[in-house]
Structure 1
Amino acid sequence: MIEPDGHFCSDCAVRATAVCSSLDRAELKEFERLGRRVSFAAGETVFSEEDITTSFYNLLEGVMRLYKLLPDGRRQIVDFALPGDFLGMNIAGRHNFSADAIGAVTVCQFAKTAFGRFVEDRPHLLRQINELAIRELSQARDHLVLLGRRSAEEKVATFLLNWRARLVSLRGSSDTVPLPMNRQDIADYLGLTIETVSRTFTRLERLGVIEIIQGGISLLDPARAKALAAA
């Protein structure tokens, strides 16, 4: 874990999509003093399920896997976090999932108590947090629907299209879709085996829907992918 010397909210690359986007310049200066920038190496745990919540995290760089461990030891990935996502807020006072770094990750970490005091006098920031919570709830419901779909092709096609859509705000529209997560991560997210995921990627490539490239895929036939996802 590395903590660089200082950080500047005004220069933050994800400010437009982050929880702090509603703050004015004076508020941003005060907000800046609350946080510290922390980096995590690939595979390092940012926080663990059932740990007492002492901090919140705004993801600045990299991708994180968010997951729960089932009683039999299996892992269910509930989401992949991207820059701009705000993590750690919950009702119970304990983290309800774990978060690991996929590749190098940088977050802005806020102490829970200080952050709570800052939010109390700023209803516009509270509204922003509520909007993020509603968006997360909607994504969780979409994931439940995805897990209930019947075919592996549907699941993989839907995942690729949704992931591509999420990357638009960060990278712009592109048919080249980087996949920083590995096949096991995708399997644990979709409720499939790694063998099924690998076979499905190969089948989609054979059908001319995608091309598997280094570090991701190229979406060759978006219309066909949408048809598969909606089947």
Structure 2
Amino acid sequence: MGRRLSICNSIDDCDLAILANESSRMTVADGRSFIEEGAPAHDFFVVTGGRVKLFTLLPDGRRQITGFAEGGDFLGLAASTSYAFGAEALGGATLCRFPHAGMQRLTERFPSLEHRLREEASRELALMQARMTLLGRKTARERVATFLMERCSHLERTDPSQPIELDLPMPRTDIADYLGLTIETVSRILSAFKKEKLISIRSITHITLLMPERISTIAEGME
């Protein structure tokens, strides 16, 4: 899975050692930051295991959750001179760190890699636009449904109608912050989804989407 989702799939197996020489592996403990908002953007990162919380700092010192990243996601690829967000491990995470200078050498050697990076930079910008729509246009019910469907995006699914098991390591307060809602509203909507038999809740960190197609319909504002 890691190879399929990462930049490695743009490089032949026999050349992976060259890629490894230009990168370094990192293990980040739960709650530890590894990207500081406003710091010089000398590197970008690929999440290879675990999950990451993304945030920006408000003028009064509070943090606004702007997203969650997991296996295969790129962080900081669209940055120019400084990082526009901070990043912190959720329950521990492993990453590959690529210095921009080293990546420049790799793209010169492997033209297909440059195309892959452009795709990921475009995806990063598209996610930012999607978040603006999430906060500006969607109802609370649609926002929670969108969050649940976002968490499915990394999973391999052969039948979209089958139940989907989700592991949610982030606390409800982070989910509420990300969605621009109160924790009470998030809990109320999840309870309503459970009552409608759209989901089952085994624990605070584990939810099963029993009817993912309908949840997707709600997320898209079609219900």
Q: TM-score, normalised by structure 2?
A: 0.88
- Does residue 194 of structure 2 align to residue 202 of structure 1? no
Which moved further from structure 2: 36-45 or 196-205? 196-205
SS of residue in 2 equivalent to 1:103: strand
CA separation of 1:150 and 1:130: change in aligned 2, threshold 3 A? closer
Match of 2:211 in 1: 221
CA–CA distance in structure 1, aligned partners of residues 212 and 14 of structure 2: 45
Indicate if the aligned counterparts of 1:19 and 1:86 stay in contact, CA closer than 8 A.
no
SS of residue in 1 equivalent to 2:152: helix
Match of 1:18 in 2: 6
CA separation of 1:226 and 1:124: change in aligned 2, threshold 3 A? closer
Match of 1:4 in 2: none
CA–CA distance in structure 2, aligned partners of residues 92 and 18 of structure 1: 21
CA separation of 1:186 and 1:40: change in aligned 2, threshold 3 A? same
The count of corresponding residues between Structure 1 and Structure 2 is: 217
- How many Å apart are 1:228 and its aligned residue? 2.6
CA–CA distance in structure 1, aligned partners of residues 38 and 67 of structure 2: 17
5+ residue gaps in structure 1? 1-12
Deviations 1:99-138 (A, max 9, x none): 1000111111222322222223332111100011112222
Letter in 1 for 2:181: L
Letter in 2 for 1:163: R
Indicate if the aligned counterparts of 1:58 and 1:109 stay in contact, CA closer than 8 A.
yes
Q: TM-score, normalised by structure 1?
A: 0.85
Indicate if the aligned counterparts of 2:199 and 2:211 stay in contact, CA closer than 8 A.
yes
- How many Å apart are 1:15 and its aligned residue? 1.2
CA–CA distance in structure 2, aligned partners of residues 226 and 60 of structure 1: 27
CA–CA distance in structure 2, aligned partners of residues 201 and 93 of structure 1: 40
- How many Å apart are 1:18 and its aligned residue? 0.6
Indicate if the aligned counterparts of 2:107 and 2:113 stay in contact, CA closer than 8 A.
yes
Task: Kindly report the root-mean-square deviation, in angstroms, between the aligned alpha carbons of the 2 structures.
Answer: 2.0
Match of 1:41 in 2: 29
Deviations 1:27-68 (A, max 9, x none): 322111112211011001011100112222111110001111
- How many Å apart are 1:223 and its aligned residue? 4.0
5+ residue gaps in structure 2? none
Match of 1:61 in 2: 49
Structure 1 segments of 4+ aligned residues over 6 angstroms from their partners: none
- How many Å apart are 1:185 and its aligned residue? 1.3
- Provide the identity percentage: 38
Indicate if the aligned counterparts of 1:90 and 1:96 stay in contact, CA closer than 8 A.
no
- How many Å apart are 1:96 and its aligned residue? 0.8
CA–CA distance in structure 2, aligned partners of residues 221 and 86 of structure 1: 30
Match of 1:167 in 2: 155
Aligned partner (choices 173, 176, 181) of residue 184 of structure 1: 173
Which moved further from structure 2: 217-226 or 43-52? 217-226
Match of 1:149 in 2: 137
Residue pairs, 1:77-92, within 5 angstroms: 77-92=65-80
- Does residue 96 of structure 2 align to residue 128 of structure 1? no
SS of residue in 1 equivalent to 2:61: coil
CA–CA distance in structure 2, aligned partners of residues 185 and 56 of structure 1: 24
Indicate if the aligned counterparts of 1:53 and 1:94 stay in contact, CA closer than 8 A.
yes
SS of residue in 2 equivalent to 1:79: strand
CA–CA distance in structure 2, aligned partners of residues 165 and 97 of structure 1: 22
- How many Å apart are 1:89 and its aligned residue? 2.3
